[in-house]
Structure 1
Amino acid sequence: CFASQVFKEHIRAMHETKQPHDTPLRTTIQTPYGLVYPKEYATVTDLATALVEHLSSNTHPLVADVRRDGRGMLKITTKAHLEWHAIMGRFPCSLCGFYFNGAKGLRVHREIGHRHSQTGCDIHRLNVYGCNASQWCAMTGSVDILRFLVENGLDCTILNRNGHSALHKAAMKGHEDLCMWLLLAKSEGGGGLQRKHMQADDEGFTPMTFASANGHSRLGLRLQAAYDALPFAMDDPSR
């Protein structure tokens, strides 16, 4: 990184001239209008920030994006590299500069990594099929997002009009980690689903048969073992 190299030379010069360790880097700046004035940089991060501002304010034929991290390291993305990522189906996050597969991957990253949310959303609202956000989220397989929603009050025990719980949806897609989290007791930080959430739907499908029918045989066996191990509840229809 150019900023780091400049500061290394600055530190070396301080040692050679026996200057105090906190001596700032002093440079002379010339503005586009010809004004000249002195400028001081106390850390490599300060210098890197100034370089980012300078590069960002000038249209460059090669550079598409430039940013610095917390250590003062510069990350420069060329326009050719950005085009290559686009061809590969990867989208950059404007907040951190990292790339993610497809629009869905970028959206999930922002929701989890940057706590992005859509204002005015009602996570408790049921759609025409009787599903709330838990069933739709379960189909994505993201434990982090569903846990986040549950922590913010979402009821993941809802059964829709077909008798599907979030577990049915997750099993259908083969999301093993999410299925196990849904069955984990609430006292252990899980979803706390019970035997009644594993019952057959209107067409006779249980989460176990959904998993097996869609080629996820190991998940089907794990769900069956979990079902057999769960205690009966007073309102369990299979009691």
Structure 2
Amino acid sequence: MYHNQYISKIDNAELVQTINVTSASFIQRINENFDINRQLNALLLGNVQSGKTAQMLGIISAMADEGYKIFLLLTTDNVDLHRQTYNRVKNSLSGFNVLNEKEESLLTQASLIKPTVVVLKKNSRVLSRWKNHLLNTNICKGLFLVIFDDEADASSLNTLVNKDRVSTINKRLSEIKASAANTIYIEVTATPQAVILQTSMSGWRPKFVYYFKPGDNYLGGNYFYPKTQSLNTIFTPDYELDSIIEGGDVICPIG
């Protein structure tokens, strides 16, 4: 129901097809990798300006159809970007409660009759306030908390790890993840190196990666900076890439 409502507003058949494929495949990966006894981290990978927000909203709407109720969508600490993302979610997911970062009082048990998306900036005061609300109200009791972290490699990871300290944003996100018995944390980025290089003990390394290909009309870096044989061989042999990516979907879990 929710997914069909979302895609019915998109006047682009090719985009609808990719959203359908991404949503179904991503939820399948969640089901294959989920462990009731631990949090699940996953990575949604797409090219720069290839429609990551559209894919995220497709996954959110499909997960709502599966019974998930509480979603946090994190943006970088930028007022204009936060407002733009909030308005887009509000207009795209008409069957949802969509809250901004100042509306924590509206997230109640009664409001969860409908799935709820909360759009938050990765700002320490904002995250601290919402962490307190989630803990004090125990709103996530018996429910999964699903977090989409857009630009997950920007400020979310522990930037002070080499100093044996924890950066503020990373600490707040860890507290929010711990506010529910079961959390699915989805890291979204076009530059995944820092995310993938996290240690398994860090709590931020993705269990699996899903890559969605851009549409046929996509230009981006692939057009302006085409791949060359010399660049490919600097990083990894072709056979290693072939063993990881097949048909646009990263098919092997991260160690």
Using the size of structure 2 for normalisation, the TM-score is 0.25
Using the size of structure 1 for normalisation, the TM-score is 0.26
Q: Going by fraction, where is strand more abundant, 1 or 2?
A: 2
Higher relative contact order (CA 8 A, sep 6+): 2
Q: Which has the larger radius of gyration?
A: 1
